[in-house]
Amino acid sequence: QTCRHLVHFFVTHLHNIRLPSTMKLSLALSAFAAAASSASAFVPHIRPSFGIATELNAERQPIMAGNWKMNPATEEDALALATEFSKLLGDESCAINDFDGCTEVVLFPPFPFISKVKDAVEDIGITVGAQGIFYEEKGAFTGSVSSSMVKSIGCEYILCGHSERRILFKDDDVNINAKVKKVLESGMKPILCIGETKDELDLDITKEVCAMQLSKDLAGVTKEQMADVVIAYEPVWAIGTGLVCEPDAANAMHVYIRECLASMYDDEVAQATRIQYGGSVTPESVDGLMDQPDIDGCLVGGASLFADKFARICNFQKVEE
């Protein structure tokens, strides 16, 4: 109880205290670490079950997604990238509604390029998505787009909770949860991004952070709706840094995420939910990652801006025994 009160104090009042920002961070992380000594301090209704099987579930279709972020600079460049990439895909890729041992591929271009990119890639089964939406349907929200807008131009997936939105644009769990539910209500599929920062990694509270994000961001999402949810585990310290989790360490976090989902829903949801890994995925690292039984795909940033690199990632190869 004391730890919960301490965390509440810092969250509520720390921004009003006249201290150097580095000291504020240190104090807040100390409080966070103290409370995290018990996972129930954050997510009391998540009680991980450690009996979940980790064998690859044949019903989980692999999914590779390319997040172009605020790239490339022009529509012409975007079309050239999409066209070149589509020519390099192997027969292992397939459309969103197909599943015969093939890999689903999704592209997330910037908003102005979505329609043209969709036209360029849809014939070979590549799906497009939007990098975000606002949870209101319409109104005086300058600079925002609604779910109905992106759905009307063919988007099937929406990124929710990406670390850059959380950190740079202060997108909190309340807003992320509202967006996840809005995407589902609109008949599209959210890719919910979760993951720890370097400070949280150093404090050894990765599991607590991810459990808290899952609990808050999926609040009110039903078991039935979870069939349309993809989780992307993206350790923030690995995004754009060139660092990548070792495959076995990444897989262990995916197993833990399934344990949380089993506690929040049941084993059926835990085993059916596709979980991607994201964080400086490269052609050199993808095979080892995708050989892990609980890694169902990758959410790729920088490498997706190079047609040959992203095609190699999508055309991953299982490691030989």
Active site residues: 162, 234
Cβ neighbors of 190 (< 8 A, separation 6 or more) are: 157, 158, 159, 160, 179, 180, 183, 184, 228, 229, 230
Beta bridge partners of 66: 107, 300
Cβ neighbours of 80 (radius 10 Å): 14
Question: In a 3-state reduction of DSSP, which class is residue 316?
Answer: coil
Q: Which amino acid does the sequence have at 27? A: L
Q: Which amino acid does the sequence have at 56? A: L
Q: What is the DSSP letter of 215?
A: H
Q: Which of 221, 316, 267, 239 is nearest to 53 (CA)?
A: 267
Tokens of 54: 């980790």
Q: What is the DSSP letter of 57?
A: P
Tokens of 1: 């109880």
Burial class of residue 96 (count of CB atoms within 10 Å of its CB; 0-12, 13-18, 19+): middle
Angle, CA 124 vertex, CA 126 and CA 285 arms, to 5° = 55
**How far is Cα 156 from Cα 273, in angstroms, rounded to an integer?**
17
Angle, CA 86 vertex, CA 303 and CA 60 arms, to 5° = 75
Spell out a b/e string for 285-294, using b for 16 or more CB atoms within 10 Å of the CB, else e. bbbbbbbbeb
Tokens of 295: 């890694």
**How far is Cα 303 from Cα 15, in angstroms, rounded to an integer?**
37
Burial class of residue 49 (count of CB atoms within 10 Å of its CB; 0-12, 13-18, 19+): middle
- Over its C-alpha atoms, the chain yields an Rg (Å, rounded) of 19
